[in-house]
């Protein structure tokens, strides 16, 4: 077990965390970063990123994260594999505990813990997790070659997952609770053009069934508020793409959070209600949630931390 002292502890390693690491290490703050449950963050579970400026041919999430990692460590960021399990934000310096047994004593903290995929809350989801239920098509799509799968949701993520799966699976059923897709027009167009994607509007999932693994979903189709019919749709895979929840569990009661649990920051800054604590990326952004906006906010958090340290002297 080590006691590590740092001017800046960065929690989480998506584009926000890595950008904060690049900026703080170049500013000689010798940051320590704990990468968290999903090293590289959510982007490592997506396919191709086509909208990050500068990559005109697109880049995979993992490649981008490898590059960011190299860039951050090149300037001296101390990147640690592990999770911050507890932190005391009530006094400075802040004291954090990591699952590797280390204690980190930090003058500032940048929180970039991101958000995690949401589930519908059906008991069956737990039952079939790893046996057909997944929240990551790029991680698990491979197992459904020429099979039938369902994707729940009507946003950009759901469209992206459905398109990805349509190139692997035989048929893809998109289960959309409203009578329209929330996704961007370009994604909608791609979905509607795919012959093996079937969009089931006004439809909700009532349950899942199967003997040894998942065999299908019980779906209810609505007309207005009336349930028109309930039927069993055979599927081997059931993918959730219904949005995310911010990873703020260890900060509850210590930092101002909004109703949904996102960290509240001051105006256009990364400043939280606790002096010396800054938030960047999806953990503080229920609105944009893009790799590029996360990276931009990681830069802001680094600059805010640097300024704060200068001010307190």
Where in the sequence numbering do the catalytic residues fall?
136, 139-140
Q: Tell me which residues in 161-190 interact with ligand NDP (CB under 6 A).
A: 177-178, 182
For residues 78 and 221, which CB has a smaller minimum distance to ligand NDP in the complex?
221
Q: Which is nearer to ligand NDP, 39 or 243 (CB)?
A: 243
Say whether 33 sits in a helix, a strand or coil.
strand
* Residue of 110, 135, 158, 174 interacting with ligand NDP (CB under 6 A): 158
**Which residues in 134-153 contact ligand NDP (CB under 6 A)?**
152-153
- Rounded CA-CA distance 74/68 in Å is 10
How many whole angstroms separate alpha carbon 152 and alpha carbon 89? 38
Half-sphere exposure of 265 (CA within 13 A, CB side): 24
Of positions 59, 95, 105, 120, contacts ligand NDP by CB under 6 A: 120
Nearer to ligand NDP, 92 or 190 (CB): 190
Are 7 and 107 within 8 A, CB to CB? yes
DSSP secondary structure letters along 159-214: HHHHHHHHTTSSEEEEE-SSSS--S-HHHHHHHHH-TTEEEETTEEEEEEE-SSS-
Nearer to ligand NDP, 89 or 150 (CB): 150
Q: Per CB under 6 A, does 122 bind ligand NDP?
A: no
What is the Cα–Cα distance from 125 to 132, expressed in whole angstroms?
Answer: 9
What whole-number distance in Å separates Cα of residue 15 and Cα of residue 61? 10
- List residues bridging with 80 in a β-sheet: 34
Closest CB 286 distance from ligand NDP, rounded Å: 9
| Whole-number Å distance between alpha carbons of 275 and 278 | 8
Member of 140, 160, 236, 285 binding ligand NDP (CB under 6 A):
160
List the x/- string, 208-247, binding to ligand NDP by CB under 6 A.
Answer: ----------------------------------xx----
Closest CA to 18 of 57, 52, 58: 52
Q: Rounded to the nearest 10 degrees, how much is the dihedral formed by the CA atoms of 42, 47, 52, 57?
A: 160
Q: Is 64 in the site for ligand NDP (CB under 6 A)?
A: no
Size of the site for ligand NDP (CB under 6 A): 16
The answer to whether residues 263 and 280 touch, using CB atoms and an 8 Å cutoff, is no
Give me the least distance between CB of 204 and ligand NDP, in Å please: 6
Interface residue with ligand NDP, options 92, 190, 198, 289 (CB under 6 A): 289
Question: Which residue minimizes CB distance to ligand NDP?
Answer: 155
Among 39, 76, 82, 155, binds ligand NDP (CB under 6 A): 155
**Using CB atoms within 10 A of its CB, is residue 119 exposed (0-12), middle (13-18) or buried (19+)?**
middle
101: which 2 tokens? Answer: 């047994």
Residue span 34-53 as binding mask against ligand NDP, x where in contact by CB under 6 A, dash where not: -----------------x--
Nearer to ligand NDP, 127 or 177 (CB): 177
Nearer to ligand NDP, 82 or 155 (CB): 155
* Binding positions for ligand NDP, rule: CB under 6 A: 51, 120, 152-158, 160, 177-178, 182, 242-243, 289
């Amino acid at each position: 077990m080590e006691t590590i002292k740092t001017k800046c502890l960065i929690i989480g390693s998506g584009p926000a965390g890595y950008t904060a690491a690049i900026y703080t290490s170049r500013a000689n703050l010798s940051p320590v970063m704990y990468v968290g449950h999903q090293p590289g963050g959510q982007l490592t579970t997506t396919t191709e990123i086509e909208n990050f400026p500068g990559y005109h041919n697109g880049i995979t999430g993992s490649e981008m994260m490898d590059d960011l990692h190299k860039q951050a460590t090149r300037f001296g960021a101390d990147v640690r594999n592990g999770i911050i399990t507890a932190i005391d934000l009530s006094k400075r310096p802040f004291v954090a505990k990591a699952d590797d047994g280390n204690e980190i004593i930090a003058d500032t903290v940048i929180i970039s813990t991101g958000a995690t995929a949401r589930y519908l809350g059906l008991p069956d989801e737990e039952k079939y997790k790893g046996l057909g239920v997944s929240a990551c098509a790029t991680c698990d799509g491979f197992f459904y070659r020429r099979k039938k799968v369902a994707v729940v949701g009507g946003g950009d993520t759901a469209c992206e997952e459905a398109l990805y799966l349509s190139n692997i699976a035989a048929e893809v059923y998109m289960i959309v609770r409203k009578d329209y897709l929330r996704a961007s027009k370009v994604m909608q167009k791609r979905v509607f053009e795919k012959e093996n994607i079937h969009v089931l509007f006004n439809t909700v999932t009532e349950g899942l069934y199967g003997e040894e693994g998942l065999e299908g979903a019980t779906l209810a189709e609505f007309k207005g508020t009336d349930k028109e019919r309930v039927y069993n749709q055979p599927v081997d895979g059931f993918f959730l793409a219904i949005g995310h929840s911010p990873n703020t569990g260890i900060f509850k009661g210590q930092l101002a959070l909004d109703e949904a649990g996102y960290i509240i920051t001051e105006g256009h800054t990364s400043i939280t209600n606790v002096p010396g604590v800054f938030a960047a990326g999806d953990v503080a952004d229920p609105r944009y949630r893009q790799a590029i906006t996360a990276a931009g906010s990681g830069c802001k958090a680094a600059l805010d931390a640097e300024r704060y340290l200068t001010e307190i002297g």
